[in-house]
A and B are shown apart, each in its own frame.
Chain A
Amino acid sequence: MSGHSPLYFKNRLYYVLLAAGGLVALAGMFAVYLMEHHGHVITGMNNQVVWGLPHVFAIFLIVAASGVLNVASIGSVFGKSIYKARAPMASLLSIAMLAGGLAVLMLDLGRPDRLIVAATNINFTSVFAWNVVLYTGMFSLIVIYLWTMMERRMNGWNKTAGLAVFAWRFILTTGTGLIFAFLPARQAYGSAILPPMFIVLSFAWGLAVFHLVQAVTYAWNERQHDPAIMERTKHLLGIFVIGSLYLVTVYHLTNLYFAQQVGFVRFILIEGGIYPALFWLGYIVLGNLLPLGLIYWPERKTNCVAASVLVIAGAFALLYVFIIGGQAYPLDIFPGFTASSSFGDGQIASYSPSIYELLLGLGGLAIAFLLTTVGVRIFNFMPQD
């Protein structure tokens, strides 16, 4: 064994990683097969909580996929060279996460076999249908953008492509926010602040994912990250985290001010059991206070990767509270009345995610992981500082 070079072990490890990612993706596919065979009855989702854990994973991946491109935009649009060097890796990550997120969203459908129906019958008043166009457009634009970076003859078009990607991803994340903002019937949603909130959240989540992947690739290639660059991008993460915390606060504050919404805010922030716990401990403490401490504590050795991991954990907590908590709170169909029925009127809906939903969500992460790993290995995506 000792006769093998370190590269040999590294090559081995690469294939082990691929196999591990592949296994998780396969487990996700198996969960999909079971969900399609038995129906959604084997999941925790029901007629009250219609979107569950798969949507938490899918929306995280899609929102982060948009935000990670910030790194590219700062490079291409605003001409900052340290970010420009990272644009190819950011683009790869974006494609990978978009693919993973969309796979989860698609495979959670009641009839994923009708993909062709979704592609050929587009209702233009549906923000879901807009998103189908936005996602496919995003894929194509990023591929073109990558082409302008990697093909010397196309370099001249790089700024234009970068600008197009920059504009497109704003619209894309607006579209993701609008999925919820266009639901006036539900207390938790139907707010114009949601699209900007999702955009700023995407900046923080995307940059956190980028930091994580960058650190792993640097370690893999046995290269040292320039501490000055690390310091700058770390502070940028801090600003994004503060920005998103601000918008999340304003979202809850406006709800708190409307008398008709107070019940919902009490539920989601104080009385709702798992939801307030996840919000305060998961999102506020783990996802904001701790990473901000890691970023801004004076005289502290940079710990950008730990801060990024915490931001990602906070993202999942927030999305769980927002998506599932938002549905668990009953619709106020008869304001001023208490209601009860066999269909959950006036009742807090219960939801406990099943292993199949978790596997499907992890399968999406695995797809993103596989695409990134293969991409980094095959193409030269290492930042050249």
Chain B
Amino acid sequence: MNINDLRRRNFLKTSVGAAAVAIAPGFLLFDIAHGKAQAVSGKVRWGMLINTEQCQEGCNDCVTACNKENGLSGGTSATDSQWIRKVEIKDVSSGRKVSLPMMCQHCEHPPCVDVCPTNASFKRADGIVLVDRHRCIGCRYCMMACPYKARSFVHEPLTDQNPDVPRGKGTVESCTLCVHRIDKGQQPACVESCTNKAILFGDLNNPDSEIAKKIRTVASVQVRASLGLNTGVRYQGL
């Protein structure tokens, strides 16, 4: 064995060691983030049906659950993030009152994704509209474009974040449909917390799912349907 062989062997050993050290944290973080190896299926389209007749005025359970799940402060000043909000509406002519939760409608043709200059706003194959916090430059054009005012800009430094829901000062954020829970086979926090069972969550594309059956049989609407965005969130009793 000559000196060249030894050098080559040492070089290979060091290289493999260095590569392992470089890659290992990535695997570890992937595990911590509960990442799934398989890609999301485009056959699924997640959506919600909100029954406004069951939604109670003054009840804020969905908002509280969302704040807790996603590590939001719960503040309601003009610069605080609100991913879901209760809106009280009243028919101008008849005076009929309706209370409903409003959040990202997870459009099939999301204007926020169209206008985002850096592709930070994107739609997952299963219909969930998200913001890549590493790509968002904080231009707020998506907030200008969103017809539902569903997005918030992080105006202040953040502390005590939920590791499953990374956020960042200077970037835009909105309802993720609790994507981290969906990927674990759970339901979004707002759905689970609703004591009045006003929110039905499921796969709009699966004809046998409860939500698909319900949408086939009861009258439901998309908010601002005239914009032609085909929202994933629908409302009953509006």
Chain A partners chain B:
yes
* B-binding residues in A (CB < 8 A): 36, 38-41, 46-48, 50-51, 109-112, 114-115, 117-118, 121-123, 125-129, 132, 179, 182-186, 189, 327, 331, 333-334, 336-345, 349-350
Collect the chain B residues with CB atoms within 8 Å of residue A179's CB.
141
Cβ-defined contact, B144 with A118, below 8 A: no
- Chain A: CB-nearest residue to B63: A342
Given the known inter-chain contacts A47-B79, A333-B224, please indicate yes or no for A110 contacting B88, CB distance below 8 A: no
Residues of chain B contacted by A47 (CB below 8 angstroms) = 78-82, 143, 151-153, 155
* A11, chain B: closest CB distance, angstroms: 42
| Closest chain A residue to B87, Cβ basis | A341
Q: For the complex, what is the distance from the CA of A129 to the CA of B120, rounded to whole Å?
A: 12
Which residues of A have CB within 8 Å of B98? 337
B117 touches A122 (CB 8 A): yes
Quote the shortest CB–CB distance from B88 to chain A (angstroms): 5
Contact among A115, A125, A343 for B85, CB-based, below 8 A: A343
Q: How far is the CA of A127 from the CA of B78 in the complex (A)?
A: 27
**Interface presence of B118 (CB below 8 A):** yes
Q: Are A339 and B88 in contact (CB under 8 A)?
A: yes
Q: Are A126 and B114 in contact (CB under 8 A)?
A: yes
| Cα separation A189 to B141 with both chains bound (whole Å) | 13
Across the A-B interface, give the 10 residue pairs with the lowest CB-CB distance, nearest first: A110-B138, A110-B170, A185-B147, A46-B78, A128-B117, A337-B89, A41-B155, A129-B117, A50-B140, A342-B76
B224–A337 CB distance below 8 A: no
Given A126-B141, A333-B149, A337-B89, does the pair A121, B118 have CB atoms closer than 8 Å?
A: yes
**A112 neighbours in B (Cβ, 8 Å):** 137
Q: Does B157 contact A (CB under 8 A)?
A: yes
Q: Judge whether A341 and B117 touch: CB under 8 Å.
A: no
B179 within 8 Å of A by Cβ? no
| A117 contacts B135, C-beta separation under 8 Å | yes
B78 contacts which of A48, A111, A114, A123 (Cβ < 8 Å)?
A: A48
Quote the shortest CB–CB distance from A328 to chain B (angstroms): 12
| Chain A neighbourhood of B81, CB < 8 A | 47
Contact indicator B144/A333 (Cβ below 8 Å): no
Residues on A with beta carbons closer than 8 Å to the beta carbon of B120: 121
- Inter-subunit contact A111/B171 (CB<8 Å): yes
Any chain A CB within 8 A of the CB of B139?
Answer: yes
Instruction: Give bound CA distance, A110 to B92, whole Å.
Output: 39
11 A-B pairs within 8 Å (CB atoms) are namely A38-B157, A39-B154, A39-B169, A46-B78, A110-B172, A111-B170, A118-B117, A185-B111, A333-B223, A345-B87, A349-B78
Least Cβ–Cβ distance between A188 and chain B, in angstroms: 10
Report which B residues bind A (CB closer than 8 A): 76, 78-82, 85-93, 98, 102, 111, 113-120, 134-141, 143-149, 151-157, 168-172, 223-224, 227
B21 CB, nearest partner CB in chain A, Å: 27
Chain B contacts of A189 at CB under 8 A? 144
The docked-state distance in angstroms from the alpha carbon of A157 to that of B178 is 59
Contacts of A186 in B (CB 8 A): 144
Contacts of A327 in B (CB 8 A): 144
Asked whether, in the complex, the Cβ of B76 is within 8 Å of the Cβ of A345, the reply is no
Chain B contacts for A122, CB-based, 8 A: 117-119
Tell me if B's interface is mostly helix, strand, loop or mixed: loop
User: For B227, what are the chain A residues with a Cβ–Cβ distance below 8 Å?
Assistant: 184-185
Are B78 and A118 neighbours in the complex by a CB distance under 8 Å? Answer: no
Bound-state CA distance A344–B82 (Å) is 11
Give Cα distance in the complex from A271 to B155, angstroms: 30
Q: Closest Cβ of chain A: how far from B78's Cβ, in Å?
A: 4
Q: Is the CB of B138 within 8 A of A111?
A: yes
Q: Are B152 and A117 in contact (CB under 8 A)?
A: no
Bound-state Cα–Cα, A342 to B62, Å: 14
Bound CA span A128–B171, Å:
16
Contact B118 A118 (CB under 8 A): yes
7 extra A-B contacts, CB within 8 A, seeds A115-B137, A129-B117: A41-B79, A47-B79, A111-B168, A114-B136, A123-B117, A185-B227, A337-B98
Kindly list chain A residues whose C-beta atoms are within 8 Å of the C-beta of B137. 109-112, 114-115, 117-118
CA distance A205 to B82 in the complex (A): 40
**Distance between B92 CB and nearest chain A CB, rounded to angstroms:** 6
A72 CB, nearest partner CB in chain B, Å: 29
Q: Find chain A residues with CB under 8 A from B170 CB.
A: 36, 39-40, 109-111
Query: Chain B residues with Cβ under 8 A from A185's Cβ?
Result: 111, 145-147, 224, 227
Chain B's closest residue to A36 (CB) is B170
**Is there contact, CB below 8 Å, between B86 and A341?**
yes
Minimum CB–CB distance from B151 to chain A (whole Å) comes to 8
